Structure 1
């Protein structure tokens, strides 16, 4: 209805994740940096958490759109409460394997055979698991066991786990998930957008459907939307859709604060956004003269030009890591059917990004500029200053923990070697029987 009234070519604020509407906020840019780091390692688990509606699924849709299918095969599943056997079957189906009616062992055999075929064809495999907070410890353990599949000493399956904040807490607190925790190589919590990002976010989505400036939006509307939604993209989409609908019904060419108050009161009453109207009123009382205008966003033309990326072939448009941040890191690549591969040196400890509170005059991160190839440039991850240890005990504990991780990795590699030897013996025996 409102799209016809305003001459739009589609719905700018649909709730279904669509990579065409991807907007790179500061927190999304940081998430892509950690995703890039994790995927260059070619092994283990990458964990992305965030509130409901923070944009996790849109981020993954954007990621998978950029992946070259000739270099990487991606399986995606959205989980509910599954036991271990159900998880195994779901993983197999995500890669197009027909395992209906088969037991768990047969399904695992199909998955392993498929991963070996992909590796020999020069393709890596990535499994994306959404809504991971719904998984049982048994299902997560099955995912961990699948990460043991190797060709020689090189892992065959990397996994990206998406979940709500409780999934991060579950990983940290559960003793049963200790082995999985040791295999998490990168993690990031996808936070809310900053206040000054709300306006470019809304205008970006409008421009994706042909917006030419009508309806116009008053400046204080954006600050009011941020106050009511907390900067969560899905909530912003809900409010913006209601505003456009109200504008079309009333035949308005400008969205103002009075319309926003009316929409928020309606959403508060129908419980679709509880407390939103009161939050906006509090924001107006706290800000003299009403909601203040959002800080200007730095133009893309004025932003620092990134270094030229190096293409590792995984992504259709190229992929690069920040050279200064990861000087010695090389992406993992399979070369034809050879069992030997160059693989990035694994980091023993997971890298974790934490979103800081929004800063008013933060020029570097305030500009969510849209890159032509979003994975071509990875934002630099400055290390947080390390706290000075009180005693030498922390150093000893860290050393012991690292030794424990190295021992666990050595044990995994030995299991992989034994597995390959068993396959070779079986192949030789089969050949001997055929010759006889």
Structure 2
């Protein structure tokens, strides 16, 4: 909608997990290096934590992409809302074990156990990147513990990365008992936020800053350095700038965008009007 107005080739602040837009900050670079260390050193299980919206999912997918050039088999699986049977079925399907839609739970376990046994005999290696573990059903954590035990007998064929938002939760404490490494991803500082915004704009065809320095500072303050929130604020602000025919985005536009996102009524609010008119 506003691409042509701002001379953009695409939406720079899309919330989609697009590796083409991945911003490898110092924080993400360090996290990615640690994830690769898990694979290279054949660590049994690692926790990957950070506040929601800091980019854990896209970092896992970047890790998977890098490991496509290695002898490892690396698979990503999102456990959001999954119970044990759903988790195991999706895992069997991901590993191309051919589960039927009605394959019972015991048979799913047999397929996985046979697969891991085969890897142990051939000294194969499998890295499972399990996302949103803390938002899965509790029985899925039981399955993870059993799976890890099955995959680390004799020759260790299996390594797990368990991604979750909070290392201080009861579920994280339980997962920590089977883990031998913790990886944490923090929010951006002010400089990283500025670099992130310009990185996204540059990849979308805009080399010039569209946000004033005061606007960037307000984005950092409102988003608290969380990339997903930065995306949300910037996207709405660009829409407002288009609607008002602005040359750049200032602090007032950011404050209005933040009020919209937070649901706070504004005396004069045309951002909502233009959205409703799409």
Name the TM-score class by shorter chain.
0.7 to 0.9
Task: Summarize the Cα distance change of 1:185–1:43 in structure 2 as closer, same or farther, 3 Å threshold.
Answer: same
SS of alignment partner, residue 154 of structure 1: coil
Residues 119 and 19 of structure 1: CA distance in aligned 2, closer, same or farther (over 3 Å)? farther
Q: 1:130 aligns to what?
A: 131
Residue 199 of structure 1 is aligned with which of 194, 197, 203? 194
1:258 matched to 2:252? The reply is yes
Q: Does residue 184 of the first structure (1) align with residue 185 of the second (2)?
A: no
Q: Distance in 2 between matches of 1:209 and 1:120?
A: 48
Contact 1:19–1:65 at 8 Å: present in 2 too? no
Q: Deviations along 1:281-310, whole A, 9 cap, x unmatched?
A: xxxxxxxxxxxxxxxxxxxxxxxxxxxxxx
Aligned to 1:38: 38
Root-mean-square deviation over aligned CA pairs: 2.4
Would you tell me which structure has more helix in proportion to its own residues? 2
Alpha-carbon distance change, 202 to 185 in structure 1, aligned in 2, over 3 angstroms: same
Separation in 2 of the partners of 1:98 and 1:37?
Answer: 31
Runs of 5+ unmatched residues, structure 1: 272-436
Separation of aligned partners in 2, 1:260 and 1:170: 37
Greater Cα radius of gyration, structure 1 or 2: 1
TM-superposed CA distance for 1:65, in Å, is: 1.6
Q: Quote the residue 2:170 is aligned against.
A: 170
**For the Cα contact (< 8 Å) 1:131–1:162, is it kept in 2?**
yes
Contact 2:124 2:157 in 1 (8 A): no
Structure 1 217/41 Cα, relative in aligned 2: closer, same or farther at 3 Å? same
Q: Deviations over 1:86-133 (max 9, x none)?
A: 332232122222223222232122223333455666642111211111
Q: Could you say what secondary structure the match of 2:48 adopts?
A: strand
- Using the alignment, how far apart are the partners of 1:109 and 1:69 within structure 2? 30
- CA 145–238 in structure 1, closer or farther in 2 if over 3 Å, else same: same
2: CA distance, partners of 1:58 / 1:259: 29
Q: Distance in 1 between matches of 2:146 and 2:222?
A: 44
Give how far 1:244 is off: 1.1
**Alpha-carbon deviation of 1:80?**
3.6
Alpha carbons 1:133, 1:164 under 8 Å: kept: yes
| SS of aligned partner of 1:34 | helix
Paired residues of 2:51 and 2:186 also in contact (CA < 8 A):
yes
* 1:72 and 1:126 in contact (8 A); partners too: yes
**1:235 paired residue among 229, 236, 243:** 229
In the TM superposition, residue 150 of structure 1 has moved relative to its aligned partner by 4.8
Q: Any residues of structure 2 matched to 1:256-405 within 5 Å, and which?
A: 256-269=250-263
Under a length normalisation based on structure 2, what TM-score does the superposition of the two structures give? 0.84
SS in structure 2 of the partner of residue 127 of structure 1: strand
Q: Deviations over 1:167-191 (max 9, x none)?
A: 6422455xxx4xx534312112322
**Structure 2: how far apart are the matches of 1:9 and 1:110?**
46
Quick one: structure 1 residues 192 and 113, their matched pair in 2 at CA, closer, same or farther if it must change by over 3 Å?
A: same
SS at match of 2:169: helix
Name the CA distance, whole Å, in 1 between partners of 2:22 and 2:123.
Answer: 30
In the TM superposition, residue 208 of structure 1 has moved relative to its aligned partner by: 0.9
Q: Would the aligned equivalents of 1:225 and 1:239 in 2 still touch at CA under 8 Å? A: yes
1:64 deviation in Å?
Answer: 1.3
Determine the C-alpha separation between the residues in 1 that align with 2:44 and 2:15: 31
Deviation, structure 1 residue 29: 2.8
**Match for residue 21 of structure 2?**
21
Separation in 2, partners of 1:193, 1:33: 18
Per-residue deviation at 1:11?
Answer: 1.0
Change (3 A) 1:198 1:113: same
Q: Secondary structure, in 3 states, of the residue corresponding to 2:46?
A: strand
Contact map agreement 1:35 1:186 (CA 8 A) in 2? no
2:68 and 2:226 mapped to 1: Cα distance?
A: 30
- Tell me the residue number matched to 2:157: 156
Confirm whether residue 146 of structure 1 aligns to residue 140 of structure 2: no
* CA–CA separation in structure 1 for the residues paired with 2:113 and 2:70: 19
* Structure 1 pair 210–130 and aligned structure 2 pair: CA distance change class (3 A): same
Cα deviation, residue 223, structure 1? 0.9
* Distance in 2, Cα, partners of 1:62 & 1:125: 17
Give SS of 1:148's match: helix
